[in-house]
Structure 1
């Protein structure tokens, strides 16, 4: 068997018996088998219909042929009897031998017609009447041939012709009635054949559809598994091995996809190790840069000129941004290997937002940005470090993208057991093509701000990870100008 379904051994996963499908070696062969199986009921219906129609056509042809022959022979009997009667009457009057020869010729034609009619299928009643007619006609022929005025009366002989005519006419009428009966039987057979073909069609079409659905399922099942495997690869899920149960060529393709999954998994692990190692390596020299910039800003090495103080401020802001990027990398790599663990404590969102704004006070002052605060005292049970990272990413992006002399609106409120944080900047906003991938790691849209130290594209991704860990939600709201983010957090996060 090229295609069969057999019971498999009990599975370890659920302890139940599964069905194992044995596929052919080629996907093309599976399609051909499916097409053949789907067409088989229809071909059977067509063949059976052709057989019935051929049988009906044969019966019709035979019936028409027999009817024509029977009618023709019966009419010939009646006609020859009439001709023999006329010839006999003339012969008795004129006693001309030529008239007797005409009678004998008519007799021979009568005998030929009788033989033709006798060869046709007929009832026993018809055959008995036909035999009686032949016998009486033969006796009459003998009387006419041996006729003499002394032996028999002319009127008696002529009267016997009238009796033969009545018998021949009865045979003709019986043949006509037999033809009518055959026609009725033929019509009934045609109607019965039509009903049989209709019921066959109504029965076999669902069977063909059922076979087609079964083959469609067998064809679509490995394709759906392959589609699901490719989707997982596209989403970065390399944990589950890929196994495609189908025709041989699709199984080979599934093995190649599993090889690709293993390669991508190895590359992803190498990437994570690289990011983790690089982040740790960069953190040590960055600490020295931060301490040096802080010492310069505090004028530990001596008083600074206004220009030197501005340069020291730039160093301090750049080191802060670089530190934030490295912390994002470390947070991202940690989130990839372990689910975020929450250390819950009471967090004052308004105080936390003010502290973060103070960290960016120099940049805010240099760009002359107006901070519009709409703060309502809000306390939540959350992980302070992670919520700090969420707010820091949103506020730093807002400060980064907001145009000089523009404004940033920050709102913190709570309602219905939820805290709501909104950050609306005065920048160019988010392009429509970037919205779908805005929270994906390492994604930087076309509208990304160019600066001396470019962003890593991890801020919003990490913010979403931390918000999701608290059971909250972060979304981008529609806005006529600038980007408007909303963070919804439960007032009390549930630990998992």
Structure 2
């Protein structure tokens, strides 16, 4: 499925951040709403409790004040005491009205209504018959009942406050649980959104990284198409343009190598034939100095021929996967013939070739020309970098169903910095005179290509001195 990306990478990041933060913002907003609701409920509960407690206490206080004023009036018959009683009644009425306006239970409302009616009846009797001594005792006794009822209302208010507090605590606990579950739910949602956005951001970057890696490895065959924001798609188009340019440049390089190699081979053949004729003294007897010069020409022409053949082999390998012409190849005679080609160089440098061919009749099914190139490249490097009057250990043996070729020279060895790029084409190392990968830098690269074509393996073994190569080839190669 095609993913619809925004036009810019920055917009994608902003959308990603916004989507990742959206669940968290929802959680924060919802938490704030719950907390605000809980705070409002707490304020209302506290206000209700304070007002109910204040009004209830006021009822008890005013009844006590009315009782005291009534008792004093009946004893002293002072009209000012009757006025005090009337003022206390007015304050009682105000407290009763304040309490009746609050949110009360049915029990409280009924008790408050009964208290109000009894107090009103008592007030009318008190004010209507202030001089009736017969009613005095009855009136005073009624005040005790009013006090008890008012105290019951106060106690019921306290119990109502306790119930409201319990409900408030339960609501707070439930709110806390809701917020906890909400957080536990939204955090994974936020993480999932973040992972999805990260995937959308990382996917085109991974594709771009893979495309750049392929370009760096010299693979120009695959079309580069980056599916992502507009600016990354533009960058992908630039990379594809670069791929096309590199493809054309690589083709030009291959054509150049192929043409130059063929052009050089013709005059080189003439030089080789001429140096061989001189060496055979066809033109006359040579002096020792002339023979030395002839040997130099012959050896240099052989070396130049080897480099040109490597260039031709490398060009063929680059254009086509090596095709094997399978036949039975006797390794020991092939190795001896290659050593014979370097007999002059071996003799001039006084190199001791320590052979170990066991068994001597070992043969494999392979491509004779390519196996010749493998052994030739290993031996030529070993002979080139082995110091004069030193030795080269050359072994051919059989291990199970594989043939093993070992070449161990006495040269300076291979630098650590060169080991990772030992088989790279044209790589010659930082110091061409101290590293085995000098010359054209194609010998080991071609050897590895041909070894791989035979389903074999070439490795550099650890060695204190010199370079130690091991080539493993199956006795029966797969033609596919």
| TM-score, normalised with respect to structure 1 | 0.94
Equivalent position to 2:86, from 80, 87, 104? 104
Aligned pair 1:75/2:82, yes or no? Answer: no
Aligned pair 1:436/2:420, yes or no? Answer: yes
Equivalent position to 1:490, from 459, 474, 479? 474
Measured after TM superposition, the shift of residue 216 of structure 1 is 1.0
Partner of 2:106: 124
Partner of 2:405: 421
Distance 1:280 1:450 in 2: 31
Q: How does 1:210-359 map to 2 (within 5 A)?
A: 210-359=192-341
Could you tell me which runs of 5 or more consecutive residues in structure 1 were left unpaired when the two chains were aligned: 1-18
Partner of 2:149: 167
Measured after TM superposition, the shift of residue 146 of structure 1 is 2.5
Distance 1:27 1:350 in 2: 64
Aligned pair 1:45/2:27, yes or no? Answer: yes
Q: After superposing the two structures, state which structure 1 stretch, 224-233 or 144-153, moved more.
A: 144-153
Partner of 2:439: 455
Distance 1:450 1:305 in 2: 36
Aligned pair 1:155/2:137, yes or no? Answer: yes
The 3 A distance-change label for structure 1 pair 286 and 148 is closer
Equivalent residues of 1:400, 1:449 under 8 A apart: no
Q: CA RMSD in A?
A: 1.3
**Could you give the per-residue CA deviations for residues 237-279 of structure 1, whole angstroms, max 9, x where no partner exists?**
0011100000001000000000000000000000000000000
Distance 1:293 1:57 in 2: 108
The 3 A distance-change label for structure 1 pair 450 and 322 is farther
Could you tell me which runs of 5 or more consecutive residues in structure 2 were left unpaired when the two chains were aligned: none
Report how many aligned residue pairs link the two structures: 476
Distance 1:107 1:335 in 2: 118
Distance 1:68 1:306 in 2: 130
Partner of 2:17: 35
Distance 2:379 2:49 in 1: 104
Q: How does 1:55-74 map to 2 (within 5 A)?
A: 55-74=37-56
Distance 1:245 1:316 in 2: 60
Measured after TM superposition, the shift of residue 449 of structure 1 is 2.9
Partner of 1:446: 430
Structure 1 stretches of 4+ moved >4 Å = none
The 3 A distance-change label for structure 1 pair 267 and 148 is closer
Equivalent residues of 2:70, 2:82 under 8 A apart: yes
Equivalent residues of 1:430, 1:447 under 8 A apart: no
Equivalent residues of 2:52, 2:157 under 8 A apart: yes
Equivalent residues of 2:207, 2:226 under 8 A apart: yes
Aligned pair 1:384/2:368, yes or no? Answer: yes
Distance 1:397 1:415 in 2: 25
The 3 A distance-change label for structure 1 pair 467 and 97 is same
Measured after TM superposition, the shift of residue 318 of structure 1 is 0.3
Q: After superposing the two structures, state which structure 1 stretch, 80-89 or 136-145, moved more.
A: 136-145
Distance 1:34 1:394 in 2: 57
Equivalent residues of 1:74, 1:168 under 8 A apart: yes
Distance 1:307 1:294 in 2: 16
Distance 2:222 2:135 in 1: 119
